[in-house]
Homo-oligomer: A and B are copies of this chain.
Amino acid sequence: MPELRKDPIVQRWVVMAPDRAKRPSDVKDDPKLVEGEFDPFAEGNEAATPPEIMAYRNYGSQPNGPGWRVRVVPNKFPALQIEGNLEKRGDGIYDMMNGIGAHEVIIECPHGETNMSRLSVDNIREVLWVYHDRLVDLKRDRRLVHALIFKNKGALAGASLQHSHSQLMATSVVPITIYEEINGALEFFNYRGRSIFDDMIQQELAHGKRVVLDTPNFVVFCPFASRFPFETWILPKQQSSHFENITRQAIEELGTVLKTVLRKLELALDDPPYNYVIHTAPFNQPELPHFLWHMELFPRITRVAGFEWGSGFYINPVLPEEAAAFLREVDLD
């Protein structure tokens, strides 16, 4: 079973998943994706994945058969394991627990499409509904405190299959990035009495120079301190710390916004590899007035090297103001 270990200095958790590599020489990176290969995510190939956790299905279709629109299955090579009791223990100065958690794959469409941006808006909305439904379901599991939804598009962004998909990792500890964001936002809230996210949205909309899109319920901008060229955030305008509390109207709109942003990034950067993540508050927290769920998208077009790994400092060769201007001007036919 995988194991979670905590770094005793910076309190960062690491998942030790030795079953994912049989021997040290197996861990070599292979960033190639092969076109025209067997697609285990395609409709009709349901037997190639573990049995489905859920699917949006056409009337009369059967689980693990064709007739679905969006389908969720366990990751075939999970980093965490869903069965078992949570066991925590120590070893001298070190802390660890067994690797309980969920590692799921959201197959976004039945046909072999590689780019989420080319799915219909209705299809993208259903993907967002699946995110919602999975969070609502996993939240009931008292062993789990958080879930990260993320997408790896393209080999350089960590994808090993081309068929459009995203993933979900639910964990028994709060990831350090989420912890630090919530803590940083809380400090601001305690000091200023306002949400840093509110202030950010107001300042971005007032200045306009980093804004990519402004819709009734969402604002999309390239953040002031972007780590990566063309890093782009999608923030809801209405205060909500938990993605799973999203309204139907907001999901409808987010579907359109997400499709537009992805399409703009693809046209601007010639179909780049990219990641996106949804940052949402832990399951075991009530609505937090200082935190706002949001999506962060980052094309993977620059290398991260020793300086960034060693310092947490990023070097970004493209000003967010320029990236935003470029994205605003991208014409979607």
| Chain A contacts to B: CB under 8 angstroms | 5-18, 20-21, 24-29, 31, 79, 92-94, 148, 150-152, 156-159, 167, 169, 171, 175-178, 180-181, 184-185, 188, 196, 199-200, 203, 223-227, 229-230, 268-270, 275-279, 296, 298, 300-307, 309-319, 322-323, 326
Contact, CB under 8 Å: A188 / B8: yes
A interface, by DSSP: helix, strand, loop or mixed? Answer: mixed
Contact, CB under 8 Å: A6 / B225: yes
Q: A158-B303, A171-B313 are in contact. Are A10 and B180 (CB under 8 A)?
A: yes
| Identical subunits present | 2
Name the contact of A17 in the complex, choosing from B6, B13, B157, B316 (C-beta under 8 A): B316
Bound-state CA distance A278–B93 (Å) is 23
Name, among A14, A15, A196, A306, the residue most crowded by chain B CB atoms within 10 Å (CB to CB): A306
Name the contact of A184 in the complex, choosing from B11, B26, B203, B311 (C-beta under 8 A): B11
Contacts of A296 in B (CB 8 A): 310
Closest 5 CB pairs of A and B: A158-B305, A277-B310, A175-B311, A150-B306, A275-B306
Q: A20-B315, A150-B307, A323-B24 are in contact. Are A93 and B196 (CB under 8 A)?
A: yes
- Known A9-B184, A167-B307; further 4 A-B contacts with Cβ < 8 A: A18-B322, A158-B304, A275-B305, A275-B310
Contacts of A277 in B (CB 8 A): 306-307, 309-311
